[in-house]
Amino acid sequence: MKIMASKDRKNYVSWAQSSIRYCDLDPNGHVNNGAINTFFEDGRVLFRDEYMVQLGDDILTGFALVKFLAEYHLPLYFPGIVDIGTVVTKVGNSSYNLGQGIFREDECIATAEVVTVSFDPKSKTSKPIDSKLRDILYTAMLNQ
């Protein structure tokens, strides 16, 4: 399964911003990987709110992140703001893939590949993505 996370800002459709906090630093003065991964989460939450809000509260349950792969390209320092880009890279039967990038101005700090699976909360088994969500996810792909 190939997921694409791009180092190019033009390859993202949804954008969030987060502030770098002093408490995000490691002993070397770099923003630590936990904080960077939280920035990715901020991007996914905004993406959900931006694209999936019309589905109502049902969108808050019945999905699980099953793969998160981050690659760190450049160090990040305090203070500042980062931009988090998100794009749908694939829609499967019961899962969808996201590519994400964290940028400070035009520099790509980190990229992530994410797989989310739709599941039935009662049976705890995967279930097909319904047609409404499928249509929404397709609108969030860069090249439809």
User: What Å distances lie between residue 96 and 88, 89, 92, 121, 126, CA to CA?
Assistant: 7, 8, 6, 18, 12
What's the predicted TM-score (pTM) here? 0.92
**Which tens digit of pLDDT belongs to each residue from 9-49?**
999 999 999 999 999 999 999 999 999 999 999 999 999 99
> Measured between alpha carbons, how far apart are the two ends of the chain, in Å?
19
pLDDT digits (tens, 9 = 90+) for 91-136: 999 999 999 999 999 999 999 999 999 998 889 899 999 999 999 9
Contact 85, 12 (CB under 8 A): yes
Residue 113 to residue 8: CA distance in whole angstroms:
14
Confidence (pLDDT) at 18:
97
Arithmetic mean of pLDDT, 83-97: 96
**Mean pLDDT for the stretch of residues 48-72:** 85
Joined tokens for residue 119: 């599941």
pLDDT score, position 85: 98
